[in-house]
Structure 1
Amino acid sequence: MKKSLLLILLVLISQSAFADFSLKIDRLKCYSIGDNATVSVKVDYPTANYQLGGYDLVIRYDTRLSLQNVTPGNLLISCGWEYFNVTQIDVNTVRAVAIAEINNGANHPSCFAATNGALAYFSFFIAAGTIQTEFYPIYFYWNGCGDNTISSRDGTSLYLSDSVYNYDGITESNITADTTFPTPFGTATSCLSGINPIRYSEIDFYNGGIDISAVDPQAICPSDIYVNTANDQCGANVFFQIAVSDTCSGVSTSASPSSGSFFPVGQTVVNAVTSDALGHVDSCSFFVNVIDSTPPAITCPTDTTITNEPGQWYAQFFYSVSAEDNCSGVTLNSSPPSGTYDPLGENEIVTIASDASGNVDTCLFILTVVDIDPPVINCPEDIVVQNSPSECGANVSFTVTATDNSLSTTITTEPLSNSYFPAGTTLVACEAKDPSGNVDSCFFNVIVNDIEPPVLTCPDDIIVSNDSGLCGATVDFSVTALDNCSGTVIESNPNSGSFFPIGSTLVVSSAADSAGNADSCSFYIIVNDTETPQIICPDNIVVSTDPMSCSAIVDYTPSGSDNCGGYSIETFPPSGTSFELGLTTVTSVITDASGNSDSCSFTVEVIDDEPPLLNCPVDMIVQSDSGFYGAVVNYNAPASENCGDASVSVSPESGTYFEIGSHTVNAIAVDSSGNADTCTFLVTVILTDDDFDGIANFEDNCPAVFNPDQTDTDGDGIGDACCCIGIRGNVDSGFESEENPGIDIADIVFLVSYAFGTPSGPAPECHDEADVDGSGFIDIADVVYLVEFAFATPSGPAPLSCY
């Protein structure tokens, strides 16, 4: 069945130019365990184009690769693939068979192919393995004579393997060999026996694979940076470098803010990210601290002279002090402050300018208050009198007074008191002057009235509708008057023919004669409003929840219009309402002063796009558990959420056993809307080694004393460093310390009993304590040495040191 199929598969390739024809499997580099990789099988024919009919490929791959999918290549450009089938032969071997679309029309398209192109794409998942840096091979495999062959379009040419080149991730080698099937070494020579050589030609096969490198790029940030502000600037341009290490090429690094950026005063975090060509990323961060040490420059007013408040011993003075600084936010404190009531004489005013970083500058000026207190004159209220009988005026008397701190004031008036005043209004001017020339003045009117009024007649109240499109109407009316004197003038307010607003308007009419005598009457002009107001609602509103809230306060303003002002708009719910998460309909109603109304509606939608706030613990340093080279560590990463609860995941989980060293713990919090926050912290486990000799306490035969050699002469499990303290001689192991060696008569008796008793007494717990003279042996010399030290007069030499 396979051989009959191969007779249908076709690739016509120019016979004369086939020496350079080959099939190649991709050789991919710098992939990691857990990545997905797509490997293509390519035709490489650099000298000519060709016509393709079909192929039969058998591909074998490393068992640590998991085949996900096989798809036809993009080689053909004049027709497509009519048949494509993939068969899994065994756990790591797959057969791909394809036929070009060569019988889909009366003219049999040529299926023209480019010089180079892919026959098929093999997509793999790189499964976890025991080796993190290794080459996973993918190679051609022959189970029979027809495997790994290519056919011409007309079926007259079939191409088998010539040379097979293997690749191990570093070097390429020719592995062609004439062997029996199955084999990775090419088509057996026996397959060509008795076959017309013109029908069968030979091409080269190149194996490939995937190079695995599990080392991700590493971003290395500098330490926190501290700089001062630049001249006259509230910050500084700061330059830095982000180091990076990676085993693969194509690594790119970015920082935000970037090196050379302008950093404001204070602390700014710089976040750096590095990534390689396969999308593996790492990040780090550090702080740039810009310190402001430039004080502000303050400017005070010049010395100033002002006058006292009238009648007072002080004056209120307002002034302005300015300051310039490289940073905004300068605070000015003046004493006394501007607007203070300052006493007479010289007053020193001091101002201090301080910026947000605590830098200060000061200035002062002198304020002088001069007394120019004038007298205070008191005029009477306007005087109103009736004209004298048969006269157009009257004689009028009045009194003007004044007060002053000098108690001596001269008062003058024009006209004088008791002068004759004509009918109407006459202005009286008064002046008071004190001995220092300070002057005050006042004025009042003397009014002589004619009391004979004219007689005025008004019409009844008038009721009309508003003019179209206007908030009122133009109204005409007539008012008449009679008077005992000629020259009567009639006035109405508003006048006839005026525009009257909606509602009731009082029209007041008056008649005055030449002497000013008057009469008045009034009536109402009532204009009714019958036009409906118009309202326009805003578009539908979509807002995010307020910070740390599951709702949002939303403001909006429907607009309205009316022929009259004074309409009101009510909205339900009103603007400024706190809206819950979701969709709410808002209705607005406009009503004018006459009760005419209209309405509209819109929607307010509140969405949650605020991520939860995740709080990781600070980096943890713990000692190893007793008896272990590691420790079980517990921790908690709580999260707060504006809407409901957030789901928190920590990897590794709390309660995990950590080996000696530093370990990164990653945490993520996700809320019900899919918003997320992440954080990380370090767990560092250090070895419990109290004497710092590199040996854990639970394995150290003397954990309190530095003894890296672990010498234990008597083999009792207690190191020599712990059995002898200070000087030798405490044979019975009584209390001793560096200051008190603990040597007494009991030690001599213990040593004699052990060395010469019959039977022998118990052996000393510490050999070095009993070897008083340091000879390496316990004998009579040690007894004599100890007796002379403890009881001889004078005392013998002290026993040797334990160390």
Structure 2
Amino acid sequence: MLSFFNTIAAVLTCSPDLVVENDYGNTTAVVSFIGASAFDNSGDTLSVTCDPPSNSTFPEGETAVTCSATDGSGNVGTCNFTITVQDSIPPVVSCPADIVVEYDYGNTSAMVEFSGESVTDNSGAILSVTCDPPSNSTFWDGEHVVTCSATDGAGNTGTCNFTITVQDTTRPVLTCPANMTVEYDDGNTTAVVEFGGESATDNSGETILVTCSPPSNSTFSSGNNVVTCSGSDTSGNTGSCNFTIDVHDTQKPDVTCPTDITVEYDYGNSTAVVEFSGESATDNSGEILTVTCDLPSNSTFSDGVNVVTCSATDASSNTGTCNFTITVQDTQEPLVQCPSDITVEYDYGNTTAVVEFSGESVTDNSGEILSVTCDPPSNSTFADGETVVTCTATDTSGNVGTCNFTITVQDTTNPVVTCPADITVEYDYGNTTAVVEFSGESVTDNSGEILSVTCDPPSNSTFGDGENVVTCSATDAAGNVGTCNFTITVQGIITSTQ
């Protein structure tokens, strides 16, 4: 019996070669492909596998892909194709917007600084941009194309262009004389006017000729006359300026104001009604003019400096003015009334006194209700002797009124001296006198001081026959003296009565 073996491999047809760009921001690419199809003599449908498989990441350059299929007899068919990963996309270069500049002053060229050129690339690389000519180059009169370029790592070069146009469109800057106001020439309603000072400067640095119409020393008619001065540079730019020559009566009346006035508040107000007079006016026309003041006499003027403007206008509508000030102020101090002077005794046991007082008051020309403060205040402790109390009040204008009174703390109370009881003694043996010892005298004082008592005659003195008055006394620190008396009676034998 004969056996037949299939030795014919499947026939594979691969995808055509692929060329792809780098994935954005990378030098590789993830590539999806169909791969290959397989035909086998067995008629079986075969599975095709490729190495590397579809959706793999392929490096930059050429990579061979091999696809294969195996039939049921173990015959393997293969095919190959290439995937080329490349960067053929040039960088995208962005240029600044077109630039139009004026000449540098005094030149027909300009040094131009520009910026803002930028570049992005599909590789994600950070590239530098160079421009030709570069920023800060000198560009001459006219239009100049600047080309900016950048090259990526694959050698792709991107470019952009912009133009720098250097031109002179700046007109000369003309300076005219100031506007002029002149009086009529004597006996005319016109005036011959001489003027000068017109000038021109130009960005080109040229010297520009200035002409004026009408020229200096022309005869100008009554009213406003417009003079136009002009000058042109070599680029054809013309600059001009105008000024006016006003021919008429421009002399203002001479107005005289009253002298500045300073007044106090009206009582009970922070304003004042002020009457004034003496404003007057004279004019070159000889007219008799009326003077009016914007705050008339007998107006109410507010606190502070009030500027009064007085004016007079002649027939040519020339107005003369003067100013003076009316200052309404409060320089009057509040009127502070103090209590009467106070004299008090020491607080018991002290050489000071807590003193309560009242009755201080204040009135002010402003009519304000003010408060009074006293130093030291009521219910303070006052030392021995005279203390000056100052009471003050301040109005809203900062005027301070004061008054003073004195609080005198003193000690006029005599010490209280207590004497021993009266004593009766017999003669000393063989005498008609007696040496008598006594004690018990004492003293208290409102100051709380500890005082000593002296008696006259003192204890242990010799007392004569009969009644002897002994006076005991004590003096405090304020010099107040307290006394008491008792008697010592010296006599013969004392008999007792039943």
Please say whether Structure 1 and Structure 2 have the same fold, judged by a TM-score greater than 0.5.
Answer: no
* Greater RCO (CA < 8 Å, at least 6 residues apart): 2
Q: Give the TM-score normalised by the residue count of structure 2.
A: 0.33
Q: Rg larger in 1 or in 2?
A: 2
Q: Give the TM-score normalised by the residue count of structure 1.
A: 0.22
Give the number of the structure whose residues are more often helix, by fraction.
1
